[in-house]
Amino acid sequence: MSVVIVVGAQWGDEGKGKVVDILAEKAEAVVRYGGGANAGHTLVIGGRKLVTHLIPSGVLHPGKACVLGDGMVVDPQTLLEEIAACQDRGLLAGGELKVGEGAHVILPYHRLVEGLREEQRKAIGTTRRGIGPAYEAKVARRGVRIRDLFRPARLRELVTQNVDELSPLILHLGGTPPTASDQATWVDEALAAGERLRPFVCDTSRWVHDAIVAGKHVLFEGAQGGLLDIDHGTYPYVTSSSTIAAGACQGVGIGPSKIDKVIGITKAYATRVGGGPFPTELHGDAGENLRKAGGEYGATTGRPRRCGWLDLPALRLGVRLSGMDGLALTKLDVLGGLPEVSACVAYKLDGRELDELPQDPDDVARAEPVYASWPGWGPIGDARTIDALPDPARRYIDAIERLAGVPFTMVSVGADRAETILLRDAF
C-alpha cells in the first residue's frame, strides 16, 4: 500500500497532468483535493483532445477511481459537460467517478461577483470561474454543498441568503443584483444538475480511507502549485485554497499519518498566469520565444502565460512547504533549442544572500536574482536514460537536484507519455 501526493512546486501549470497520468498506471484511485475548474489538463487520446478541469488526470485509465474531494469547489454544469465529454470517448463507463457530498458548489452569483471585481481591480487576474467567491461563502458558513442539491428547500434558502448578502456588494461593484426569477432559475438548474450527478455522489472521505486501509495505491492530485497557496504562497496573488501537500489531508479528510510520499513537479523553467511577483520573468522576445517553444497558453483561459528562467530559491520554498521527497522535472526539451540556459540560484537582499524566495512582497520587489548559466543542449526527445542526455542537460539537472535538495523521480523530455526518463518508483 502506498499513498502518494503529487503537487506543483511552482505557480501551477507544471505538467501535473502528464505525471499523474504516468503514475496512475499503478494506482487504484486518483483524488483531487482542492480548487475547481480553475485548473486545466489537456489530455490527448487517439489524436482527440480532451480538456478536463475538475476530473482528475487518472481518467484516461479505465477502472481507476477518479475522486473529487470535499475540499473542492465544483461547478455542476462544468462537471456534467466534462462527464459527457469523457463518456463520449468511452471513458468513465464503469462507475469510476466519485464526487464528495461535502464539496462546495459554484453558482452563477459567484461568477457574477468575481467578474465584477476583476473588471474593477484586474490585479490578481483570476480565472473567473467563481473560485474565490465560492470559498468565501464556505468560510462565511453560508456555502452550498453538493448534498444540498438534493434538498430543494435548503438550497432555496441558501441561495436567497447568499444573494441577499451579496446584493449590496454587487451594486457597489456596479452590477445588477439578481432578481427573484434569476434565483428561481438557478435553483431549478442546480436541482436538475444534482439529479444527474446523484449516482456519482458519496462520502469520499470514507471511500478514500477505506481504499487506503484495504491496501490500495492512492494518488492525490494537487491543483495549481504551492506558490499559489492561500496561506503560504505569494499572497495576495494566490488562489483561494490550500495547494500544498497538507491540503490533501484537509481537503479529502484523511490523516497525515496515511501519506507515504510527496512528489513535486517543476518545469525546467518558470511560468505564471495572472498577476503577482515573478522575479525571473523574461520580457520581450526572450519571453515570447520561450512561450512559443513551450506552448505556454492557459488550458482554462487561453491566456498567454508569463515565462521566465527557473527560480531555484522559489523552488526550494515549494519543496519545503510540501515536504517533497522527490521531484519530477518537466519540459526539459523546451530549453534544448536555446543557445544558453539560465536559472536563478540565489537572491541578494540588503547585502545578504537568500536561498529561498522572500515572503514579504516588498522584499521580493527589492531582491536581486543571482543567475548561473549553461550552454543549450539541443534535441533530447529520444533520451530514455539520464546517461543519454547531453552533458550540459545533465549538469543542469544536477544543479537543480543539489539546490532543491531532493532527487528526481522522473524527467520529461516531451509531451508524449513515452518521452519520459523514469528514475525511481513513486510507489
The identity of residue 251, as a single letter, is G
Q: Rank residues 74 and 223 by Cβ distance to ligand IMP and give the closer one.
A: 223
Residues 346, 349, 351: CA angle, nearest 5 degrees:
105
Distance (Å, rounded) from C-alpha 338 to C-alpha 140?
49
Phi and psi for 381 in degrees, rounded to 5?
-55, -25
Decide: is 322 part of the binding site for ligand IMP (CB under 6 A): no
As measured in angstroms, the least distance from the Cβ of 238 to ligand IMP is: 6
Site string for ligand IMP, 72-111 (x = CB under 6 A): ----------------------------------------
Per-residue string for binding with ligand IMP, 199-228, x by CB under 6 A?
Answer: ------------------------xx---x
Q: Give whichever of 260 and 281 is closer to ligand IMP, judged by the CB atom.
A: 281
Q: Any contact of residue 330 with ligand IMP (CB under 6 A)?
A: no
Closest residue by beta carbon to ligand IMP = 274
Nearer to ligand IMP, 2 or 301 (CB): 301
Rule CB under 6 A: say whether 7 interacts with ligand IMP: no
Is there a catalytic annotation at residue 387? no
Q: Is 38 in the site for ligand IMP (CB under 6 A)?
A: yes
Q: What is the dihedral of CA 290, 294, 299, 302, to 10 degrees?
A: 40
Could you tell me which residues come within 8 angstroms of residue 414 by beta carbon, excluding any fewer than 6 positions away? 333, 381, 420
Q: Is the dihedral of CA 70, 71, 75, 80 positive or negative?
A: negative
> CB within 8 A of 82, min separation 6: which ones?
52, 53, 54, 55
Q: Is 242 in the site for ligand IMP (CB under 6 A)?
A: no
Cell of 100: 464528495
Which of the residues 131 through 190 are near ligand IMP (CB under 6 A)? 131-132
Contact indicator for 19, 412 with CB cutoff of 8 Å: yes
Residues 261-290 that bind ligand IMP (CB under 6 A): 273-274
Q: How far is the CB of 38 from ligand IMP (least distance, A)?
A: 4
Q: Number of residues in contact with ligand IMP, rule: CB under 6 A?
A: 19
Q: Which stretch binds ligand IMP (CB under 6 A): 125-133, 163-171, 281-289, 414-422?
A: 125-133
Catalytic residue, from 13, 21, 70, 229: name it: 13
Q: How far is Cα 287 from Cα 340, in angstroms, rounded to an integer?
A: 14
H or E element, residue 45: strand 41-45
Residues 6+ apart with CB under 8 A from 72: 32, 33, 34, 35, 36, 54, 100, 103, 104, 251
**Does residue 13 have an active-site annotation?**
yes
310 part of the interface to ligand IMP, by CB under 6 A = no
Residue entry with cell 442546480: 190
Contact segment (CB under 6 A) with ligand IMP among 43-51, 83-91, 189-197, 237-245 equals: 237-245
Q: Residue 125, interface with ligand IMP (CB under 6 A)?
A: yes
DSSP sequence for 57-110: GGGGSTTSEEEE-TTBEE-HHHHHHHHHHHHHTT-S-SS-EEEETTSEE--HHH
Residues near ligand IMP (CB under 6 A) are 12-13, 38-39, 124-127, 129, 131-132, 223-224, 228, 237, 239-240, 273-274
As annotated, the active-site residues are 13, 41
